[in-house]
Structure 1
Amino acid sequence: MIPASFDYVRPESLEEACRVLGEAADSGDDVKVLAGGQSLLPLLRLRLAYPSTLVDLGRLPGLRGIDDRGDHVFVGALTTHDEVLRSAVIRDRAPLLALATATVADPAVRHRGTLGGSLAHADPAGDLPAVALALGCVLVARSGDGEREIPAADFFVDYLETALGPGEVLTGVKVPVLGPGWGFHYEKFHRTAQAWAIVGVAAAVRRGDGIVEEARIGLTNMGSVPVRAGAVEETLRGVDLASPGSDGTADPIAQACARADEGTSPSSDLHARPDYRRHLARVLTRRAVRSAIG
């Protein structure tokens, strides 16, 4: 299909982009931001989105790159998925982000799609929002009024809706560097390599003295926004890792992960019904946690 007509603007600076977005919002225009375009363009072609103005940020300077800042890694919003995957800093300092990014669509999409665009698009079936939630990432936004930081827990508001204001541009992501003892895994079920996740699980588990000291579990496509599996995280804390279940008792890891769907609101669509997604969440969480524990 052919997209509906729209005005196209390509600002030359971040300041100009913020001004254009603010003016469009003040005039009541429906404006969309284009980064890599791998999520937005299909919506335009199917006319599921029909903005009056499209603001292309693809050539803005200063919004691309990966910087190790000690307690966190800063990733520019226009950094592509492929650049994330090829980064030794990401592999060493933020391995969960690398693991999940490797499952995003296919190489063609990963060469064009961006980390910031994926997060700002806020599709609950996207892989990276759940990772940002599990890691406790902080998203940095800029407007004409200055810069502000938005925790991932507050960033995703509803389906395809974020906390970004009308004149704000996502400029980067602070990815916390978790210390020794942490293990990571991203587990995903999808129909084909290019398809969205039916369900995905981002798991980060910290071990110490033979027990689970902390767990962070982010769920993909189990609601209108990415969600934390709080019941699993709470139940896993303090679990003894010394051959769980070998004495004939129930496996405490399996018991904890059986609570993965608690508090979720999975949707029903052509790909899966809610009860199937709930089943997948429990199974995939168990796999992800075991892999993260090692």
Structure 2
Amino acid sequence: MKLFLIVTLFIYSVNADEYLSYEVEPFTDEIVNGINALNTTWKAGKNFNGSSVQIDTLVPTHEKLWSYPRDFPIRKYGSCKLPVNFDARVAWPNCTSIGKIYDQTKGYPSWIYTAVGTIADRLCTKHGVQIDVKATVEHMVKTNVDFKNYYNSANIGQALKYWAKNGIFTVESVKESSCLPLSQKCQSNEIKLDKYFKVTNEVLKYESEVMKSIKLYGPVSAYMEVYADFLSYVSGVYKRYSENYVGYHNIKIIGWGTENGVDYLLATNSWGTEWGEEGFFKLKRNAQQLGFGTNPISTSLMPVDNEKDIPRSYVHGQLFYLAK
């Protein structure tokens, strides 16, 4: 028995750059022990308060995401001095949406908190507009975007393209809305239109551009390839060591820094506060940890004041509810 333990630890620790086997499954003691035996930049453990969570509620899109929006233009910024550490929560303390952690395991689509959250963040940092992300998500979910719906994917680009084509409205909730389905307009006494915004999206090809975009305008949304070990992340700077691919996911990058000499990007997840560092995680920089060809997206919003340029109709998917 003692010899078996020695051999097992040797297999795990012989080379910290080797990957764990494809056969090592998520949520198991084997993957937790394997990562921790590597003595790497992060720790693995039991998340979700020990409760059983289905992978499909966390990462519903298992195929490679060939529909990634590659037609977005590439954004390049000019010279911009970047600090060693940056946290958008600190830079914009009044924009509370930046640091909120939500829980998609309750039955919401995997893209929705990242897409709505990033729009909310940038409406606040640029225009001082506070959005109730929870209320906005719940109203969108009511419009047939349910847990098992086609839209329960990891393709935030689909939502961002829609908003780029149709724009968004900020609205005030006058009373509980009952206007369903998606194609039906709300009654005028249920919501009050506030402002209309045009939306533009650009991809950020290089990490330095991601950091500049966050510093200048706020958090960015991103695709991320998820492997089995990420599900057991509890602290530190994550670097992938699993070969067991489980699917695509969407996250929000809100800053960066250095921990124990390791550079990282700071991100929020949407798996609740019982995962990772109370819902947050650090992702090793300069290591393609998001996956290959999965560039983060910078979204800009421009208010439209000319009435003739404002659409005369709208659907739930365009409505962002103002915080009360």
Larger radius of gyration: 2
TM over 0.5: no
Q: TM-score, normalised by structure 1?
A: 0.24
- Higher-RCO chain (CA-CA 8 Å, sequence separation at least 6): 2
